[in-house]
Amino acid sequence: MRSANSGSPARPRSAWTGAEVNLAAAVCAVQLAVAVTVRWVGTFDDDDHGAGLGGGLAAVGLLCVLVFGPPLLAALGLLHAVTFTMPAATLARLARRRAPGPEGAWHLSFVLVLGVFWTALAVLLLGLEPVGPGALLLAVSGVPPVLTAARSRRRERVAGHPPDGGRVWFRSALVALGACVLVVAAGTVGLATGLVREYEPPKLGADRLTGVWRGDHGAVLRLSADGRAELSSVPAQPEFGDVATKEFTRCDGAGTWFLDTRGRYDPYADGPGSERRDGVVVRVADCGHDTYWTIGGTGTHPELFVLFGDPDAGDLRILRRQ
Protein backbone atom coordinates (compact mmCIF):
# COMPACT_ATOMS: atom_id res chain seq x y z
CA MET A 1 0.00 0.00 0.00
CA ARG A 2 1.28 3.50 -0.85
CA SER A 3 0.45 6.87 0.55
CA ALA A 4 -2.01 8.82 -1.60
CA ASN A 5 0.05 12.01 -1.24
CA SER A 6 3.68 10.95 -1.57
CA GLY A 7 3.54 7.59 -3.25
CA SER A 8 5.88 6.18 -0.61
CA PRO A 9 5.06 3.08 1.44
CA ALA A 10 2.67 3.77 4.31
CA ARG A 11 4.30 3.96 7.69
CA PRO A 12 3.58 0.83 9.70
CA ARG A 13 1.51 1.11 12.83
CA SER A 14 3.71 1.78 15.87
CA ALA A 15 4.07 -0.94 18.47
CA TRP A 16 3.97 1.74 21.17
CA THR A 17 0.54 3.29 20.66
CA GLY A 18 -0.74 5.43 23.50
CA ALA A 19 -3.88 3.33 23.80
CA GLU A 20 -1.91 0.09 24.24
CA VAL A 21 0.46 1.64 26.77
CA ASN A 22 -2.54 2.90 28.72
CA LEU A 23 -4.29 -0.45 28.54
CA ALA A 24 -1.20 -2.43 29.59
CA ALA A 25 -0.59 -0.08 32.53
CA ALA A 26 -4.19 -0.44 33.72
CA VAL A 27 -4.05 -4.25 33.55
CA CYS A 28 -0.74 -4.26 35.42
CA ALA A 29 -2.20 -2.01 38.11
CA VAL A 30 -5.13 -4.38 38.58
CA GLN A 31 -2.99 -7.48 38.93
CA LEU A 32 -0.62 -5.67 41.30
CA ALA A 33 -3.53 -4.60 43.53
CA VAL A 34 -4.84 -8.17 43.62
CA ALA A 35 -1.37 -9.59 44.32
CA VAL A 36 -0.84 -7.20 47.25
CA THR A 37 -4.27 -8.07 48.66
CA VAL A 38 -3.63 -11.81 48.34
CA ARG A 39 -0.27 -11.35 50.07
CA TRP A 40 -1.93 -9.43 52.89
CA VAL A 41 -4.68 -12.02 53.34
CA GLY A 42 -1.96 -14.67 53.37
CA THR A 43 -0.58 -13.08 56.54
CA PHE A 44 -3.80 -13.81 58.47
CA ASP A 45 -2.17 -16.94 59.88
CA ASP A 46 1.30 -15.41 60.32
CA ASP A 47 2.91 -14.26 63.53
CA ASP A 48 2.53 -10.48 63.79
CA HIS A 49 5.30 -10.39 66.45
CA GLY A 50 3.12 -8.27 68.70
CA ALA A 51 3.05 -5.39 66.23
CA GLY A 52 0.09 -3.87 64.47
CA LEU A 53 -1.94 -0.78 63.83
CA GLY A 54 -4.76 -0.04 66.16
CA GLY A 55 -7.31 2.67 66.78
CA GLY A 56 -6.48 5.97 65.15
CA LEU A 57 -3.36 4.65 63.43
CA ALA A 58 -5.39 2.00 61.66
CA ALA A 59 -7.78 4.67 60.38
CA VAL A 60 -4.87 6.83 59.22
CA GLY A 61 -3.31 3.84 57.48
CA LEU A 62 -6.55 3.04 55.67
CA LEU A 63 -6.93 6.67 54.62
CA CYS A 64 -3.36 6.68 53.24
CA VAL A 65 -4.09 3.54 51.24
CA LEU A 66 -7.25 5.04 49.76
CA VAL A 67 -5.57 8.36 48.90
CA PHE A 68 -2.11 7.31 47.76
CA GLY A 69 -2.82 3.74 46.67
CA PRO A 70 -4.51 4.41 43.28
CA PRO A 71 -1.87 6.83 41.91
CA LEU A 72 0.92 4.58 43.16
CA LEU A 73 -0.63 1.55 41.48
CA ALA A 74 -1.07 3.56 38.27
CA ALA A 75 2.58 4.63 38.32
CA LEU A 76 3.78 1.07 38.98
CA GLY A 77 1.48 -0.21 36.24
CA LEU A 78 2.99 2.27 33.78
CA LEU A 79 6.50 1.25 34.84
CA HIS A 80 5.61 -2.40 34.26
CA ALA A 81 4.13 -1.60 30.85
CA VAL A 82 7.23 0.21 29.59
CA THR A 83 9.59 -2.49 30.87
CA PHE A 84 7.59 -5.61 29.95
CA THR A 85 4.68 -5.25 27.53
CA MET A 86 5.80 -2.51 25.16
CA PRO A 87 9.46 -3.56 24.61
CA ALA A 88 8.14 -7.05 23.88
CA ALA A 89 5.71 -5.51 21.37
CA THR A 90 8.59 -3.79 19.57
CA LEU A 91 10.64 -7.01 19.46
CA ALA A 92 7.59 -8.90 18.17
CA ARG A 93 7.07 -6.34 15.40
CA LEU A 94 10.72 -6.66 14.32
CA ALA A 95 10.66 -10.47 14.49
CA ARG A 96 7.44 -10.65 12.47
CA ARG A 97 9.10 -8.82 9.59
CA ARG A 98 11.89 -11.39 9.38
CA ALA A 99 10.27 -14.65 10.44
CA PRO A 100 6.91 -16.35 9.95
CA GLY A 101 4.28 -16.63 12.66
CA PRO A 102 1.56 -14.43 14.12
CA GLU A 103 2.65 -11.25 15.84
CA GLY A 104 0.65 -12.14 18.96
CA ALA A 105 2.66 -15.33 19.46
CA TRP A 106 5.92 -13.40 19.09
CA HIS A 107 4.68 -10.78 21.55
CA LEU A 108 3.82 -13.43 24.12
CA SER A 109 7.17 -15.18 23.66
CA PHE A 110 9.21 -12.00 24.06
CA VAL A 111 7.30 -10.83 27.12
CA LEU A 112 8.11 -14.16 28.79
CA VAL A 113 11.78 -13.71 27.86
CA LEU A 114 11.75 -10.22 29.38
CA GLY A 115 9.96 -11.59 32.43
CA VAL A 116 12.73 -14.11 33.00
CA PHE A 117 15.33 -11.38 32.53
CA TRP A 118 13.77 -8.98 35.05
CA THR A 119 13.16 -11.82 37.49
CA ALA A 120 16.82 -12.89 37.31
CA LEU A 121 17.81 -9.26 37.93
CA ALA A 122 15.50 -9.09 40.94
CA VAL A 123 17.01 -12.29 42.31
CA LEU A 124 20.54 -10.90 41.97
CA LEU A 125 19.94 -7.35 43.18
CA LEU A 126 16.97 -7.64 45.55
CA GLY A 127 17.46 -11.13 46.96
CA LEU A 128 14.15 -12.44 45.62
CA GLU A 129 13.72 -16.17 46.21
CA PRO A 130 14.57 -17.71 42.81
CA VAL A 131 12.14 -20.62 43.05
CA GLY A 132 9.43 -18.94 45.12
CA PRO A 133 5.96 -17.79 44.07
CA GLY A 134 7.13 -14.17 43.87
CA ALA A 135 9.68 -14.98 41.18
CA LEU A 136 7.17 -17.05 39.21
CA LEU A 137 4.51 -14.34 39.34
CA LEU A 138 7.01 -11.67 38.27
CA ALA A 139 8.19 -13.80 35.35
CA VAL A 140 4.65 -14.29 33.97
CA SER A 141 3.24 -10.90 34.99
CA GLY A 142 3.49 -9.64 31.43
CA VAL A 143 1.15 -12.31 30.05
CA PRO A 144 -2.24 -10.76 31.06
CA PRO A 145 -1.40 -7.34 29.55
CA VAL A 146 -0.27 -9.00 26.29
CA LEU A 147 -3.45 -11.06 26.02
CA THR A 148 -5.56 -8.00 26.82
CA ALA A 149 -3.70 -5.92 24.22
CA ALA A 150 -4.27 -8.60 21.56
CA ARG A 151 -7.99 -8.63 22.33
CA SER A 152 -8.06 -4.84 22.21
CA ARG A 153 -6.44 -4.83 18.75
CA ARG A 154 -9.13 -7.16 17.42
CA ARG A 155 -11.87 -4.96 18.83
CA GLU A 156 -10.14 -1.86 17.46
CA ARG A 157 -10.17 -3.34 13.95
CA VAL A 158 -13.91 -3.91 14.26
CA ALA A 159 -14.79 -0.59 15.92
CA GLY A 160 -12.30 1.49 13.96
CA HIS A 161 -10.95 3.33 17.00
CA PRO A 162 -8.87 2.47 20.13
CA PRO A 163 -10.47 2.18 23.58
CA ASP A 164 -11.05 5.37 25.53
CA GLY A 165 -8.38 5.90 28.20
CA GLY A 166 -10.79 7.16 30.84
CA ARG A 167 -13.04 4.15 30.46
CA VAL A 168 -10.07 1.81 30.62
CA TRP A 169 -8.93 3.17 33.98
CA PHE A 170 -12.47 3.38 35.36
CA ARG A 171 -13.16 -0.24 34.49
CA SER A 172 -9.80 -1.37 35.82
CA ALA A 173 -10.51 0.40 39.12
CA LEU A 174 -13.87 -1.39 39.41
CA VAL A 175 -12.29 -4.76 38.59
CA ALA A 176 -9.46 -4.21 41.09
CA LEU A 177 -11.88 -3.15 43.82
CA GLY A 178 -14.20 -6.10 43.22
CA ALA A 179 -11.36 -8.64 43.10
CA CYS A 180 -9.75 -7.28 46.28
CA VAL A 181 -13.07 -7.34 48.13
CA LEU A 182 -13.59 -10.96 47.09
CA VAL A 183 -10.10 -11.94 48.25
CA VAL A 184 -10.56 -10.26 51.64
CA ALA A 185 -14.01 -11.81 52.03
CA ALA A 186 -12.65 -15.26 51.22
CA GLY A 187 -9.88 -14.84 53.79
CA THR A 188 -12.32 -13.64 56.44
CA VAL A 189 -14.69 -16.54 55.79
CA GLY A 190 -11.73 -18.91 55.95
CA LEU A 191 -10.80 -17.61 59.40
CA ALA A 192 -14.39 -17.75 60.62
CA THR A 193 -14.94 -21.32 59.41
CA GLY A 194 -11.56 -22.67 60.45
CA LEU A 195 -10.35 -23.33 56.91
CA VAL A 196 -7.58 -20.83 57.64
CA ARG A 197 -6.12 -21.39 61.08
CA GLU A 198 -5.03 -18.45 63.15
CA TYR A 199 -1.39 -18.40 64.11
CA GLU A 200 -0.45 -20.25 67.28
CA PRO A 201 3.06 -19.84 68.70
CA PRO A 202 4.99 -23.04 69.38
CA LYS A 203 5.32 -24.46 72.87
CA LEU A 204 9.01 -24.96 73.58
CA GLY A 205 10.48 -26.46 76.70
CA ALA A 206 13.81 -25.48 78.19
CA ASP A 207 15.48 -28.33 76.31
CA ARG A 208 14.34 -26.86 72.97
CA LEU A 209 15.53 -23.40 73.94
CA THR A 210 19.09 -24.28 74.88
CA GLY A 211 21.58 -23.65 72.12
CA VAL A 212 22.74 -20.75 69.96
CA TRP A 213 20.42 -18.05 68.64
CA ARG A 214 21.58 -15.49 66.09
CA GLY A 215 20.23 -12.17 64.85
CA ASP A 216 21.25 -9.16 62.82
CA HIS A 217 24.43 -7.14 63.30
CA GLY A 218 26.26 -10.14 64.73
CA ALA A 219 23.90 -10.75 67.65
CA VAL A 220 24.57 -14.13 69.31
CA LEU A 221 22.70 -15.51 72.33
CA ARG A 222 23.86 -18.79 73.85
CA LEU A 223 21.46 -20.39 76.31
CA SER A 224 22.83 -23.19 78.46
CA ALA A 225 20.86 -25.93 80.16
CA ASP A 226 22.04 -24.76 83.58
CA GLY A 227 20.42 -21.32 83.16
CA ARG A 228 23.49 -19.41 82.05
CA ALA A 229 23.38 -17.04 79.11
CA GLU A 230 26.23 -15.69 77.02
CA LEU A 231 25.57 -12.59 74.93
CA SER A 232 27.40 -10.91 72.07
CA SER A 233 25.86 -7.73 70.63
CA VAL A 234 22.41 -8.88 71.79
CA PRO A 235 19.72 -6.13 71.99
CA ALA A 236 18.41 -5.44 75.49
CA GLN A 237 16.01 -3.07 77.23
CA PRO A 238 17.85 0.13 78.20
CA GLU A 239 18.69 0.83 81.80
CA PHE A 240 16.75 4.09 81.80
CA GLY A 241 13.52 4.88 80.00
CA ASP A 242 10.11 3.29 79.87
CA VAL A 243 9.00 0.28 77.86
CA ALA A 244 7.57 2.48 75.09
CA THR A 245 10.97 3.75 73.97
CA LYS A 246 12.47 2.46 70.75
CA GLU A 247 15.97 2.86 72.10
CA PHE A 248 17.86 -0.24 73.15
CA THR A 249 21.36 -1.21 74.13
CA ARG A 250 23.51 -4.10 72.95
CA CYS A 251 24.89 -6.41 75.59
CA ASP A 252 28.08 -8.43 75.71
CA GLY A 253 28.97 -10.76 78.51
CA ALA A 254 27.37 -13.39 80.71
CA GLY A 255 24.06 -13.53 82.50
CA THR A 256 21.16 -15.83 83.28
CA TRP A 257 17.95 -16.88 81.60
CA PHE A 258 14.73 -18.71 82.44
CA LEU A 259 11.53 -19.72 80.66
CA ASP A 260 8.36 -17.81 81.50
CA THR A 261 5.27 -19.79 80.46
CA ARG A 262 2.75 -17.32 81.89
CA GLY A 263 3.91 -14.09 80.34
CA ARG A 264 4.39 -12.54 83.76
CA TYR A 265 7.50 -10.67 82.62
CA ASP A 266 6.09 -9.64 79.25
CA PRO A 267 5.84 -5.79 79.33
CA TYR A 268 3.06 -5.83 76.71
CA ALA A 269 1.00 -8.68 78.17
CA ASP A 270 -1.66 -6.39 79.62
CA GLY A 271 -1.87 -4.03 76.66
CA PRO A 272 -5.03 -3.63 74.56
CA GLY A 273 -5.56 -6.56 72.21
CA SER A 274 -2.48 -8.38 73.49
CA GLU A 275 -2.17 -11.98 74.60
CA ARG A 276 0.13 -13.67 77.06
CA ARG A 277 2.81 -15.72 75.33
CA ASP A 278 5.70 -17.84 76.48
CA GLY A 279 9.06 -16.15 76.48
CA VAL A 280 12.64 -16.21 77.65
CA VAL A 281 13.76 -13.70 80.28
CA VAL A 282 17.44 -12.75 79.89
CA ARG A 283 19.23 -10.96 82.74
CA VAL A 284 22.69 -9.44 82.46
CA ALA A 285 24.21 -7.41 85.26
CA ASP A 286 25.07 -3.78 84.42
CA CYS A 287 23.56 -4.03 80.95
CA GLY A 288 20.04 -2.72 80.86
CA HIS A 289 16.88 -4.21 82.34
CA ASP A 290 15.64 -7.76 81.96
CA THR A 291 14.71 -8.41 78.33
CA TYR A 292 11.69 -10.55 77.50
CA TRP A 293 12.28 -12.56 74.33
CA THR A 294 8.90 -13.82 73.16
CA ILE A 295 8.79 -17.27 71.54
CA GLY A 296 7.55 -17.18 67.96
CA GLY A 297 8.05 -18.82 64.60
CA THR A 298 7.07 -22.46 64.25
CA GLY A 299 7.95 -25.70 65.95
CA THR A 300 10.46 -26.54 63.21
CA HIS A 301 11.76 -22.97 62.79
CA PRO A 302 11.41 -21.26 66.19
CA GLU A 303 12.24 -17.61 66.83
CA LEU A 304 12.87 -15.35 69.78
CA PHE A 305 11.80 -11.76 69.28
CA VAL A 306 11.48 -8.53 71.20
CA LEU A 307 9.66 -5.36 70.16
CA PHE A 308 11.23 -2.17 71.43
CA GLY A 309 8.87 0.77 71.64
CA ASP A 310 5.20 1.21 70.79
CA PRO A 311 3.61 -1.91 69.24
CA ASP A 312 2.09 0.30 66.52
CA ALA A 313 5.52 1.43 65.29
CA GLY A 314 8.18 -0.38 67.27
CA ASP A 315 11.64 -1.69 66.43
CA LEU A 316 11.44 -5.46 66.00
CA ARG A 317 14.50 -7.63 66.67
CA ILE A 318 14.49 -11.37 65.95
CA LEU A 319 16.84 -14.20 66.93
CA ARG A 320 16.71 -17.52 65.08
CA ARG A 321 18.01 -20.87 66.18
CA GLN A 322 21.33 -21.78 64.59
What's the pLDDT tens digit per position in 261-274? 887 777 666 555 56
Highest mean pLDDT among 15-24, 127-136, 153-162, 206-215: 206-215
199, part of any domain: no
Q: Is residue 293 part of a domain?
A: yes
Does residue 232 fall inside a structural domain?
yes
| Cα separation, 133 vs 119, whole angstroms | 11
Residues 77 and 113 in one domain: yes
Q: Are residues 177 and 314 in the same domain?
A: no
pLDDT for the residue numbered 245: 59
List pLDDT tens digits, range 110-148: 999 999 999 999 999 988 888 888 899 999 999 999 999
> Which pLDDT does position 59 carry in this prediction?
63
Q: What band does 8 get if pLDDT is binned at 50, 70 and 90?
A: very low
- Cα 235 from Cα 250, distance rounded (Å): 4
Helices 143-159 and 103-126: crossing angle, nearest 10°? 150
Q: Which domain holds residue 296?
A: 206-321
Evaluate whether residue 10 is within a structural domain.
no
The last residue of one of the domains, among 193, 215, 238, is 193
Q: Are residues 188 and 212 in the same domain?
A: no
- What is the distance, to the nearest Å, from the Cα of residue 258 to the centroid of all Cα atoms in its chain? 35
In a domain, 11, yes or no: no
Note whether 304 and 235 are same-domain residues. Answer: yes
146, 172, 193 - which closes a domain: 193
CATH code at 212? 2.40.128
Whether residues 36 and 127 fall in one domain: yes
Residues 140, 285, single domain; the answer is no
Of the candidates 193, 224, 255, which is a domain's last residue?
193
How many secondary structure helices (H) and strands (E) does the chain include?
8, 8
Query: Count of domains in the chain?
Result: 2
What distance in Å separates the CA atoms of residue 88 and residue 113, rounded to the nearest whole number? 9
Please report whether residue 13 resides in a domain: no
Residues 235 and 299 in one domain: yes
- Judge if 178 and 231 occupy the same domain: no
Please tell me whether residues 80 and 214 are part of one structural domain: no
Q: Give percent of the chain with pLDDT exceeding 90.
A: 41
Confidence grade of residue 195 (pLDDT, cut at 50, 70, 90): confident
Reported as type and span, the H/E element at residue 295 is strand 291-297
Residue 75, pLDDT > 70, answer yes
DSSP letters, 223-250, are E-TTSEEEEEEEEE--SSS-TT----EE
pTM > 0.85 = no
